[in-house]
Amino acid sequence: MACRLEKTVVMVGMMGAGKSAIGRALAERLGVPFLDSDAEIERAAAMSISEIFARDGESFFRRRETEVIRRLLEGAPCVLSTGGGAFLSERNRRLIAERGVSVWLDADLDLLWARVRNKDTRPLLRTDNPRETLATLQDQRVPSYAEATLRVMAEEGLSIEAMTQRVLEAIRAHEGVFTCPA
C-alpha cells in the first residue's frame, strides 16, 4: 500500500524558483491534486495577474491571495504552489504552518533572472532595471523564506524531474508529512 500524504506541501520562494513547475511535477509523482494560488486568483477574477495589479493594485491582489490560500488549505492534502510574495505575510505563514509543510525553493539570482527575463507576466518586474528589482526583492524576502520548514536548493542544469526528486526526498525525510503502512 502506498504512503498517504498527511499535509499539503506548500511551495514558496522567489519568482522563477520553479514553484509552479516543480509543484505540478511533484503532485503528479504523488498522485495528488496540484493547486497554484496565482492560477486560482486568475480564475476567480477572470483576469490575469498583470490585469489585477493594473486595475485593482497589489494590496487587492494580496487580500485575494490570503483568501485563496486559506480556502485551498482547507481541502484534502495536495501540492499548493504560491506566488513569490505570499510567504512574506505573517498571516499567510501561520495559515500554511497550521495545515501544511512549507518548502522554500531557493535559487541564486542568476538562475532566477535567466528564468524570468523573457516573460512579461510578472508585474513587479516591469521596472527600468528588472534584474536589479529582482535582486532587491530577493534580499528583502530571504528572511521570510528562511522561515519555511524545508529548504531545497535549485541549481542550473538540474532538470524539473531531478529538482522534484530533491523535494520529494526532503519531504519524505520530514516527520509527519506521510504516513506509511508498517
Ligand X SMILES: O=C(O)C1=C[C@@H](OP(=O)(O)O)[C@@H](O)[C@H](O)C1
Ligand Y SMILES: Nc1ncnc2c1ncn2[C@@H]1O[C@H](COP(=O)(O)OP(=O)(O)O)[C@@H](O)[C@H]1O
Using CB under 6 A, pick the residue from 49, 73, 79, 148 that binds ligand X: 49
In order of 92, 137, 165, the CA distances from 72 in angstroms are 12, 26, 24
Q: All 3 cell numbers of residue 68?
A: 485563496
Report the nearest approach of ligand Y to the CB of residue 182 (Å): 34
Q: Which is nearer to ligand X, 41 or 172 (CB)?
A: 41
Q: Which is nearer to ligand Y, 22 or 78 (CB)?
A: 22
Stretch that binds ligand X, among 13-21, 67-75, 92-100, 169-177 (CB under 6 A): 13-21
**What is the C-alpha separation between 20 and 124, in angstroms, rounded?**
17
Residue 122 touching ligand X (CB under 6 A): yes
Q: In one letter, which amino acid is 53?
A: F
- Tell whether residue 19 is among the known ligand binding residues: yes
Q: Which does 124 bind (CB under 5 to 8 A by kind): ligand X, ligand Y, Mg ion, none?
A: ligand X
The 10 Å CB-count burial string (b at 16+, else e) for 54-75 is eeeeeeebbebbeebbeebbee
- Binding-site residues: 16-21, 38, 62, 84, 122, 141
